[in-house]
Amino acid sequence: MTYRALLRPLLFRLDPERSHELLLWALGALGPLWRRWPGPPPDPRLGITVCGIRFPHPVGLAAGFDKEGRALWAWPALGFGFVEVGTVTALPQPGNPRPRLFRLPEDDALVNRLGFNSPGAEAVARRLALLRTSPRPYPVPLAVNIGRSRAVPPEQALDDHLACFDRVQPHADFVVLNVSSPNTPGLRALQRRDQLLPLLDALARRNRELGPKPLFVKVAPDLDDADLESLAEVVVGRASGIVATNTTVSREGLRSPARREEGGVSGRPLREQATRILRTLYRLTRGTLPLVGVGGIFTARDAYERIKAGASLVEVYTGFVYEGPGLPRRIVAGLRELLDRDGFRTLADAVGVEAEGPRRSPSLPRARR
């Protein structure tokens, strides 16, 4: 209540991106203090193993919030069970001109057209290398989200992705390939079979050479069922999992004046759309591929809905902006109550229980874990 009543009104008086930068600066400056705080304790009921990685609970911070890894020690101290840094590009780039981030308070949503603003893979890799050499091990799994540099033409996207992957993969517990942002021209075309297949094959080969880490693919919420089926056929056997979903270009049902701004929408309006995509992917892959649910998660019930639809993990971003720093712990506490209510012994028992179809498909190979 303190955040909603006192701090949020102050932050919301500032330009959204300026407010975000101020928050990251403050959290990063308190790094020595955060290091003394233990990460979230292992929870025998909510803890889950995904792709060989043990997560203390399923609630993580989504990519886009801490693009550069500037406040890494703050997130476990605030209760997050894992963190996704990025999107990181191989080349440094400023992103789109400001203003490029907008609040839609009437809709509990954001519009962003940041455009992969990034200091570049080299700078982020140096920061992550320092983290990995800290006397105290980082207490939760850490993912790095990578995307195509804007200055690179589509025909050079493969080499650009490999250059970025080479720099950040050694410092990540898992890597997420972002082919679904609406704010880099031509990027979403990488979700098409003819472009995604060679890209994933090349990344899988490089991944094996470096010492394999789980590789996830982040997809858009604006795909139809035929697109999703084609995408699933490419991803299964080549990647370890899918993050569903990125922001949407749809403006259906929005009321806030800022809905007219160009960019991707995140927050509550994305909830049903993202859940539909997640449920469809779970059915298409028959539970053989770990899924991460993101988009419109504000409460434990939102997270639980995503878990029952097939997500092993969930991530928050816009919910954190609107609900404040207590959100991850509130979701974790609520998930325990919901498991009790429905009689599930562990979180893993609830994954996919409301998705239709058998657990395995005879037509799709099992994912490489």
Compute the distance between CA of residue 183 and CA of residue 265 in angstroms, rounded to an integer. Answer: 11
Paired residues of 366 in beta bridges: none
Q: How many CB atoms lie within 10 A of CB 179?
A: 26
3 state SS of 250: coil
Whether residue 181 lies in the annotated active site: yes
272-276: long-range contacts (C-beta < 8 A, 24 or more apart)? 272/296, 273/221, 273/222, 273/245, 273/248, 274/221, 274/244, 274/245, 274/306, 275/305, 275/306, 275/309
Would you state the structure tokens that stand for residue 102, as one six-digit string? 């907008």
Backbone angles phi, psi at 40, to 5 degrees: -60, 135
216, 239 contact by CB (below 8 A) = yes
Active-site choice (118, 181, 230, 266): 181
Q: What angle do CA 16, 138, 213 make, to 5 degrees?
A: 95
252-258: long-range contacts (C-beta < 8 A, 24 or more apart)? 253/107, 254/104, 254/107, 254/109, 255/104, 255/106, 255/107, 256/103, 256/104, 256/105, 256/106, 256/107, 256/109, 258/102, 258/103, 258/104, 258/111
Annotated catalytic residues are 181
